[in-house]
Every structure is written in structure tokens, then in C-alpha cells.
A and B are shown apart, each in its own frame.
Chain A
């Protein structure tokens, strides 16, 4: 009986929503914690760059949003099983994922950062000066591909499985410089004394997009339109500056 009432009220709500046509219900999934993109603050409230961006986007789309916490490995299955409608959890756009989900236009991309000791003064874009230098990267990342394609044969490339091992070798002076995902470098290298950012961050890859079910093409258009508006009217920049000292806008 309870179920029947629930179903009836749901149906009513849907009809009402259809009639009003402005307030639509959307559930958005995040995997926490992934600072500073999505995490719980000291009061247990969900916050972060993507969370605030999602709030602004919902307002723009005139949607009634509910935020869902979902562990990373169940992200795409949960979306396909209709547990939620959108993923805004730093999901990079890749061809493999694009076969199963529909991505919006990218809304951010963390650059690759060059980090090295204070004494490092070589220009990393000057291939003659970089000749013979040892560069550390994480194996299989977009940073690895970039260095392999652009500097292979000029510098010695050392590939690491974890960022920790790479930072150890940078500290031990086995590496002259490392090229890592900027937030990772910021947390690991820059938090140590005697290290600095040695060059401008480099934009790589296709970026991070909102993931939706393939059939939700109308929703994707709405999301794209809302994101475009936020990027233009300055809302995006305001949120970004709260969390980042560098540009991740795409």
C-alpha cells in the first residue's frame, strides 16, 4: 500500500513537473574526497570546485539538484543504472569512456606542471639547453606522452609508477626536473622546501567533462548551454579563483 501511494505521488509529481516544465530533478554524483574538486568541509558539508560549479549550473538550468556520493569504480555503472543522472567528478574525457557515456564540452583541465629544485634555471622549452637533462614523469599519463613525443631522444626520461617514488628521486638529485599533473606536483613537490615551479604549466589532453547517459541528448545540450553561460558571465572564474591559483578553464 505504501508503495502504491509512493508511486502515485511520484506520478503526480512528474505530471506537475511536466506542467510547470521549469523545475526538473537532477541527481549529480561525486566521488569524495578529491580535494579541491569535491570534499566535505569541517561541518560535513559537501563542497569544492566541482560542487560549486554544479550548484551554479543547476541554478542556470533552473533544475532541482540532489548531490549523490558514489565511489569511483561504481561511477559509470551507477549512471547507467539510473542511480543518478550526471557525473561531475573529475572524469577525464577518453575515447574508451565516450563509448559508454555522453560527455559534455570539457569544463576544466588541469595542466601539467614543471617542478624542480630552486637551483634549476634551464628553460624547459629550449631543447638545446635541456639536452642531457633527466626528466621524471608518471608512466602512462598525458605528461608522459607529451615528454616522449616532444623531448624523446633529447632528454633522459624516467618513468615512475607513483608520484611518491618520483619525488624521492627528485629530492635525491637523480632527476633534474619532473613534469606532473599540476595539483599533484603542488601537493608533493611544492610542499617540500627548496623546490619551485620552473616553467609555465602546459595544457594537455581533452579535459574533464560532465558524463551523462547516451540517450540524454537534450540534457547534454542544456548542460553545455549552462556551462557556456557560466564561463562567459564570470561565475566560473569566480569559483575557480576560490580554489586555484592557476588557470584550469577550458
Chain B
């Protein structure tokens, strides 16, 4: 470690090696939780979005209800219901479900996944229905069936339109994950709250954690810009 950092660390009471480790563990938990919920959420959202665009209300209706419920209620309430609500079910402590829901991690992961999947479903659905008619007609003219049309034409072009809106959803999800600390998960915010309550130094504890969230956000923004550049290469004007 460079000398000046060591010196600075020695001069303050709060940012000792121990609290830095707490922040680090919090960072790992936050990234773990957000990454898993986003990946699972995206995998679930693609088929749901396709179902949502189907004309048959028996197929699209349940998906509509699901996105309506999860977008219509705050994530905090969903987390409370899943974490505290499930524990109140008579006898759940004796079933194998309790192995999963005893610790706060899986209830939080479930709440976050269901929430982000609902938003992502709507983002992708919007991109699918805005596919230019000409592209679909051309695909039909080539004799492509529905499945091939989806795979080759609709989904790739929808992905290009969805990526900007989806990058917002990813950043919102990262910030929304701060509420995991209310169900005793020691994520970044949880670590900050513990350190705050130990030293009664709100500025130091929370400004530092805000900085960490900001760094994560910048990393995400950077990654999405690269992805957009890659996906939307064909739309760029020819450079002189």
C-alpha cells in the first residue's frame, strides 16, 4: 500500500482495515445479489415478453397481470411480503422450503428477480411491438415460419431498441438493491448503516458508500455504451 494511503488510514478512526473489509464484503454481496437477479430476470423476461405480445388473452393475460402487480407495488413491500410474510405461514419451518427462505439472501433474490423481470418484460415487449411491419412482411415473403422469424428478425432488432431502456433498468436495480439491508442482509448499504451506528458519523459512512455505488454505476454505464456501440454499429454515420 502506498505510504500516503497508509498515513491517511492511520489518521482517521473510521476507515480502518476492519471497516474497509466490511465495505468490501458489502460490495461483494451487492454485486452478487444484483447480478444474479438481473441475469435470472432477463432469462425469464424474454419468453414472458413474447407471450405478452401473443393475441390469445389466455397466454398474454397472466403475463399482463404479473407485470401489472409487480410494477404496481413498491419493491420494499414485495420484499417485506416475501421475507416476513413467508415466515408466518404455519409449519413452513418444517418443510424444505425453510432451508431456502430461512436466510435473507434467497427471499431478497426472489423479490428482486420478480421485480426486475416484470419491468424487463415490458421493456422487451415494447421493443417487439415496435418492430417495423416491413421487416416482418419481408420475412414472411421469404417463407420464414413464426419461430424462425422471431429468432432471426424480431428478437435481434428488438434487442437493439431495448438496450438503452434496459441499461436504465439495470442501474435502477443496483440502486434499489440498497433496501436489502432492511432484511438484515449486510450489502453495501447495510455495511454503511452498521458503521454509521458504531461511530455516529453519517457523512463519512454514507458518502463513502455513495462513492462506491457511483463507481459501480459508472462501470455499468461504460459497459452498456460499449454494448450499444456494438449493437448499433450499422446506424452510425460513416466517419469522414
Q: A172-B84, A173-B93 are in contact. Are A158 and B197 (CB under 8 A)?
A: no
Partner of B87, one of A145, A158, A174: A174
- For A145, the chain B residues whose CB sits under 8 A away are 198
B159-204 contacts to A (CB < 8 Å): 182, 184, 193-194, 196-198, 200
Contact B198 A159 (CB under 8 A): no
Closest CB of chain A to B195's CB: distance in Å? 10
Contact B182 A174 (CB under 8 A): no
How many B residues touch A, CB cutoff 8 Å?
16
- For B194, the chain A residues whose CB sits under 8 A away are 139, 159
15 A-B residue contacts at CB 8 Å?
A139-B194, A158-B184, A159-B184, A159-B193, A160-B184, A165-B84, A169-B84, A169-B87, A171-B87, A172-B84, A172-B88, A172-B93, A173-B93, A173-B102, A174-B102
Q: Counting CB contacts under 8 A, is A188 at the interface? A: no
Q: Counting CB contacts under 8 A, is A234 at the interface? A: no
Q: A139-B197, A159-B194, A173-B93 are in contact. Are A168 and B87 (CB under 8 A)?
A: yes
> 5 other contacts beyond A165-B182, A173-B93, with CB at 8 A cut-off?
A139-B193, A159-B194, A169-B87, A169-B184, A172-B87
How many A residues touch B, CB cutoff 8 Å?
16
- Within the assembled complex, what's the spacing in Å between the Cα atoms of A80 and B198? 28
- For A144, the chain B residues whose CB sits under 8 A away are 197
Contact A168 B93 (CB under 8 A): no
Measured CB to CB, the residues of B under 8 A from A are 84, 87-88, 93, 98, 102-104, 182, 184, 193-194, 196-198, 200
Q: Counting CB contacts under 8 A, is A140 at the interface? A: yes
Closest CB of chain A to B196's CB: distance in Å? 8
Closest CB of chain B to A204's CB: distance in Å? 15
8 pairs of A and B residues whose beta carbons are closest in the complex: A140-B197, A172-B87, A158-B184, A139-B197, A173-B93, A168-B84, A174-B102, A159-B194
Residue of A nearest to B92 (CB): A172
Q: Counting CB contacts under 8 A, is A161 at the interface? A: yes
Residue of B nearest to A162 (CB): B182
- For B98, the chain A residues whose CB sits under 8 A away are 173
- Within the assembled complex, what's the spacing in Å between the Cα atoms of A172 and B80? 13
- For B196, the chain A residues whose CB sits under 8 A away are 140
Residue of A nearest to B94 (CB): A173
- For B88, the chain A residues whose CB sits under 8 A away are 172
Closest CB of chain A to B131's CB: distance in Å? 47
- For A161, the chain B residues whose CB sits under 8 A away are 182
Measured CB to CB, the residues of A under 8 A from B are 96, 139-140, 144-145, 158-161, 165, 168-169, 171-174
- For B103, the chain A residues whose CB sits under 8 A away are 174
Residue of B nearest to A148 (CB): B198
Of listed A144, A160, A169, residue having the most chain B CB within 10 A = A169
- Within the assembled complex, what's the spacing in Å between the Cα atoms of A12 and B184? 63
- Within the assembled complex, what's the spacing in Å between the Cα atoms of A139 and B184? 10
Closest CB of chain B to A137's CB: distance in Å? 11
Residue of B nearest to A173 (CB): B93
- For A169, the chain B residues whose CB sits under 8 A away are 84, 87, 184
- Within the assembled complex, what's the spacing in Å between the Cα atoms of A131 and B94? 23
- Within the assembled complex, what's the spacing in Å between the Cα atoms of A158 and B102? 13
- For A159, the chain B residues whose CB sits under 8 A away are 184, 193-194, 197
- Within the assembled complex, what's the spacing in Å between the Cα atoms of A169 and B200? 26
Residue of A nearest to B93 (CB): A173
- Within the assembled complex, what's the spacing in Å between the Cα atoms of A145 and B194? 11
Closest CB of chain B to A208's CB: distance in Å? 19
- For A160, the chain B residues whose CB sits under 8 A away are 184
Closest CB of chain A to B194's CB: distance in Å? 6
Residue of A nearest to B190 (CB): A159
- Within the assembled complex, what's the spacing in Å between the Cα atoms of A169 and B182? 12
Residue of B nearest to A166 (CB): B184
Residue of B nearest to A144 (CB): B197
Closest CB of chain A to B202's CB: distance in Å? 12
- For B104, the chain A residues whose CB sits under 8 A away are 174
Closest CB of chain A to B82's CB: distance in Å? 12
- Within the assembled complex, what's the spacing in Å between the Cα atoms of A168 and B196? 24
Residue of A nearest to B89 (CB): A172
- For B198, the chain A residues whose CB sits under 8 A away are 140, 145
Residue of A nearest to B80 (CB): A165
Closest CB of chain B to A217's CB: distance in Å? 28
Of listed A96, A144, A165, A172, residue having the most chain B CB within 10 A = A172
- For A174, the chain B residues whose CB sits under 8 A away are 87, 102-104
